[in-house]
Each structure stands twice: as C-alpha cells, then as structure tokens.
Structure 1
Amino acid sequence: MTTTISNSKIRADISSNGAELISLKKSKTGKEYIWNGNPEFWAKHSPTLFPIVGTLKNNSYLYNNVEYHLSRHGFARDNFFEIIQQTNNEIVFSLKSNDETLKKYPFQFELQIKYTISENALHVTYNVFNNNDVQMPFSIGGHPAFALEKEFENYSLTFEADETLEYYPLENDLLLNQSSLINLEKKTLPLTYSLFENDALVFKQLKSKNIQIVENNKPIFNFNFNDFPNFGIWTKINAPFICLEPWVGYADTVSANGNILEKEGIILLEPKKNTTFTFSITIL
C-alpha cells in the first residue's frame, strides 16, 4: 500500500513495505527527485537500515555468547509497517518486534518512522524504542537514492564545511582499517563513477551536516543530517542516481570481533528509553 502526503509545493509517496519513500515531487511541475527503482541498476528507492547499517563480518554477531545472523542492512526494509498516525502533510509508520525478528535480533523494540512535509522540505524522523530491561544495541540509517536526469558528470556535491574528506574503503563489504583522503575544491566534490569503483564512500565523521546536490552549477536541493554522526555516498556504475546516506553506525571492520556490544559505531540504548534521529530534504 502506498500513501501520499502533500502540500502546495511538494508531495511524497511512501510504501508501507519498509515504510520506504518511493517518490518526492514538486506539486506543480511533477518533477521527480527520487530514483525509480529500476532493477537493472537497483530495485530500491530509499530503504531504512535497521537494526544494523552495512554488513556484519560473516553476516553474524554474538550476544550473550549466542550467535545470531543478520543480512546486510538488517530487516526493517523488508517488513510491513503499520500506519499509526496520518494527516495531509504527516504520516507515522510503526514496526514492532515479532517472532521472526526475535530470531535474528533478540530484543523487544518499536521503530517508528515519521514523514513530515513543511513548505518545500521533507523531514524523515526515526524514533527507536527499547522495550527491554537491558541495553539494546542498534544502528540505523537512511539510504535515499536521488534521480539524476542528466549525465552523471553534470553533477557535484557541495559540502557545508571546507574540509578534506576522510573515507574508509570497503573490502568484501567490510571496512578497512586504513582511511583514504579526498580533497575538495571550494567545498565541492565533482561526481564521477570512478569514485565508486570499490563501492560506497564511507565517512566515520564529517564536519559538514548539510550537502547540496548541484546540477551544472545550479543547486537542486539541500540534504541536512544534523543528527547523524556517520555518512555514506554511493551509486552503481553507470546508474543515473546518487545515494546520500545518513547513518548512526556502519559496517563491521575487517578486524571486528563479532561482539555486538563492542561493535564500532553501535548505539547502546538504555532500558525503556527511546531516541530520535532526523534528516531533511529541501527542494530548491
């Protein structure tokens, strides 16, 4: 089931399957900003990554000396979410732990995803509830893919801060311990497919908390991720989209020991507590 929220400036379509954003358009012109999910390249649009981000070493982890198995990016994106609140410009989805999730992730949780439209901005809020009497380890992240109408090299990313980008390369989906650097020119990263020959660019930290996608020197939209300490940028070679991925956590390193409580980047949420993270897309 797909549900629409809208105002006079933008409209968003969200699927109950994974509570996934599948369309974001200007209301008047119908211009589309989200990737169409063509399976020739990548069949998703904007999945939510939970309760892990990226890949676990051997696709498994240890908790209380018991081994559990989780596939890349976790299971939220493959589950049906219930709508628990809806107005013309806001909708809240909910996924609660169940018998199937407990086999992979032995914690009682609720994940709420709220989409809110305000003027020309879409705000996406993750609200994670720990319904256990113990700490709950988790990571969470967004994976929105933005459609690019022109050739890939017509686009660039403008960062809020003047910084040198330090990223961690992937090897068999795991992070290497040695980082590499990308120098920006006037805060700008021109997009080329060669940047992604070894998969995503993974940043454990960025000074910038706002990035613009720019088409031929004209900004298209702002992407704000104040609440997220980590970030990924990704595309498939020759695909007409770019993913900007705000994360809390990231893939295992090649030297990870498998203990989920000691996983680099993991959040340990206190019992009976909840925490929220918001990112925003502002159409220009």
Structure 2
Amino acid sequence: MTTTISNSYLKASIKHAGAELFSIQDHQNKEYIWEANPSFWGKHSPVLFPIVGTLKNNTYTIDGKEYHLSRHGFARDMEFQLVDHTEDSATFSLSSNAETLQKFPFNFELQLIYTLKQKELTLSYKVINTEATRIPFSIGAHPAIALPNDFETYSFEFEKEEVLKYNLLENDLISNTTKTLETTSNLVPLSYKLFENDALVFKTLESNSLTILENSKPYVKVNFEDFPSLGIWTKEKAPFICIEPWFGYSDTVENSGDLFEKEGILILDAHQTFQSKFSIQIL
C-alpha cells in the first residue's frame, strides 16, 4: 500500500512498508527521489531504527544478554500503520510486537510524520517509550536524492565554512582514522572517488544544512538542524546521493557491545517521547 500527499507545488508518495518515502515530484512530474533500481541500491529513503549503521558482529548486549540486529535495524523492513492523513500530511506508526521484542527487548511506538509546506517536505520522528524503564536507541534518515545529470556536474554547499573532518569505516565499523574533506570555501565538487572507502561519516558538524548544486545552480537542500551527525553515501556509477541525518552511527572498532554504552546512543527515560525532524527542500 502507498499514500500520497500533495500541495500546490509538490506531491510526495510513501510506502506503508517501512513508511518509506519513494517519490517527490514537482508539477512538471520531475522526480527527486532515487528509483531504487536494485542493480545499484534497492531502497529509496529508509528509516534507520533502533540502530544506525552496523553493530560489531551484528550483536549487542542488554544486562549481559545477547541480541542480534542487522545493519540499520528492523523498522525499514516492517509494515507501518497509517494513523492520520490529510491532503498535505500523513502519519505512520510502528509499535513493538512479538517480532521486535526478539531483537530489541523494549516496548515503544515509532511515528513518522510527513508534511508538505510549499516546496519543502518535512519528516518528523517520534519515539515514544511505553516502557517503565529507559530505552537506548539510535534513529536516522537515509534519503537518496536522484541525480539525473552526470555525477560530476553536481557539488555540495555546506551551510557554514568549517573543517569537514570525517571518520573512515573499517569492516563497516567506525575506525579511529579521520580525513578532512577538501573544500573551496564551503563547496565540495562531487566525484565517485570521494566514496571509494564507503560513506563519509561526520560525527559532528557545525552546518545545519547542505545544498546540492547542479551545474552550480541550487537543486535540493537538506535541512538537518535537529541532528548531530551526518552520513553521505553513494555507490560507484550510481545516479544518486544519500544525505543521511543521524542520531548515532555504526559501532566503533573498540565498542564494548553494551547498547547503553554505545557511542552516540540516545537514552529515553520511561514514558517519555523523543522528537526530531529534517526536511528536503526543492530549489
């Protein structure tokens, strides 16, 4: 099943499977979200919950007991319920159940709220702790922006001029090796060489937004002021770029395995609600 929302400028379509955004189109039917061709990457914009990235050995512990979670967690592979729908907004919900409790021993409700306002789609997240104890979790976005022209005609413009230090991945885990992204002012030309070691993982950034330029003209802006970390990723010769706002990231190479001790993890107190949002703005 799918749900579509629209306004005078845009329409956005969301699958109930994973509550995954799969289309943003303007009124000329120009598509801004990657088509999910499986020969490159068979996703459009999955939600990452209750972890972001990869756990060491796909395993973590709670009170000494082992649990297993695959990369980016399970929410992206589960059916969400549509709980509210207006012309320009839609709210999807996933609640803990017997299947999730096998992988993540906590009761929760996860809501994804999509809202269109003019030429901007906002995705708001709510994590509701329905437990009488604290819950450790991460949450993140993974939208793939379609790049219809030659990849190297695109560039990034970070909101602020800053030292763009990122961590390299080692067997899908965060290593202690860092590099600095070369910039001219706050502009970074795109090339596949940037991603030869997989994603660029920025644990912290001063910038709250990133603009994709097409032939030096603003194309799409991703606003992520609520999120402390950012991943940027593509695959060789793939015509998309993923701009990924995150709370949390893959395990570090020296991670203990205890989810409460995981670097970047969020801890939500009993019966409390966590909220954050990011947006995709068509320019």
TM over 0.5: yes
SS at match of 2:132: coil
Determine if contact 1:235/1:242 at 8 Å carries over to the other structure. yes
Structure 2 counterpart of 1:151: 150
SS in 2 for 1:265: coil
Contact 1:163 1:183 in 2 (8 A): no
1:64 is displaced (CA, Å) by 0.7
State yes or no: 1:211 paired with 2:197. no
Aligned-residue Cα RMSD (Å) equals 0.6
- Distance in 1, Cα, partners of 2:62 & 2:165: 31
Pairwise CA distance, 1:184: 1.4
SS at match of 1:168: strand
**Aligned 1:1-284 pairs, distance under 5 A:** 1-26=1-26, 28-284=27-283
User: Which piece of structure 1 moves more, 237-246 or 175-184?
Assistant: 175-184
CA deviation after TM superposition for structure 1 residue 181, in Å: 1.1
Matched residue of 1:177: which SS?
A: strand
Query: Cα offset for 1:83?
Result: 0.5
Letter matched to residue 209 of structure 1: N
Cα deviations by residue, 1:1-51 (Å, 9 ceiling, x for unpaired): 01100011000000000000000010x201100000000100000000000
What is the CA deviation profile of residues 37-96 of structure 1, one whole-angstrom value per residue up to 9, with x for unaligned ones? 000100000000000000000100010110000000000000000000000000000000
Counterpart-to-counterpart distance in 1, 2:127 and 2:140: 12
State the distance in 2 between where 1:275 and 1:58 align. 28
Counterparts of 2:219 and 2:116, CA distance in 1: 17
Look up the SS of the partner of 1:207 in the other structure. coil
* Deviations, residues 210-244 of structure 1 (Å, cap 9, x unaligned): 11000011001211001000000000011000000
The whole-number CA distance in structure 2 between the counterparts of 1:255 and 1:238 is: 33
Distance 1:56 1:92 in 2: 29
The letter for the 1-side match of 2:3 is T
TM-score normalised by the chain length of structure 1: 0.99
Measured in 1, the distance between the counterparts of 2:170 and 2:196 equals 12
- 1:178 Cα deviation after fit: 2.4
Cα distance, 1:186 vs structure 2: 1.8
Kept after mapping to 2: 8 A contact 1:121/1:281:
yes
Tell me if structure 2 keeps the 8 A contact 1:229–1:247: yes
Q: Name the CA distance, whole Å, in 2 between partners of 1:186 and 1:47.
A: 32
Structure 1: 5+ residue runs without aligned partners? none
Structure 1: 4+ residue segments shifted above 4 A? none
Secondary structure at 2:220 match in 1: strand
Name the CA distance, whole Å, in 1 between partners of 2:88 and 2:122.
11
In structure 2, distance between residues paired with 1:134 and 1:3: 35
**Distance in 2 (alpha carbons) for counterparts of 1:202 and 1:72:** 15
SS in 1 for 2:105: coil
Q: Deviations over 1:182-222 (max 9, x none)?
A: 13112101110001011100000011011100001100121
- Is the 1:163–1:184 contact (alpha carbons within 8 Å) kept by the matching residues of 2? no
Kindly, what percent of the aligned residue pairs are identical? 55
Q: How many residues align?
A: 283
Uncovered stretches (5+) of structure 2, i.e. residues with no partner: none
How far, CA to CA, are the matches of 1:250 and 1:127 in structure 2?
19
Q: Secondary structure at the match of 1:123?
A: strand
2:99 aligns to what SS in structure 1? helix
C-alpha displacement of 1:113: 0.1
Paired residue secondary structure (1:261) = helix
Structure 2: how far apart are the matches of 1:158 and 1:59? 35
- SS at structure 2 position matched to 1:51: coil
Name the CA distance, whole Å, in 2 between partners of 1:48 and 1:81. Answer: 11
Helix, strand or coil: the match of 2:165? strand
Normalising by structure 2, what TM-score? Answer: 0.99
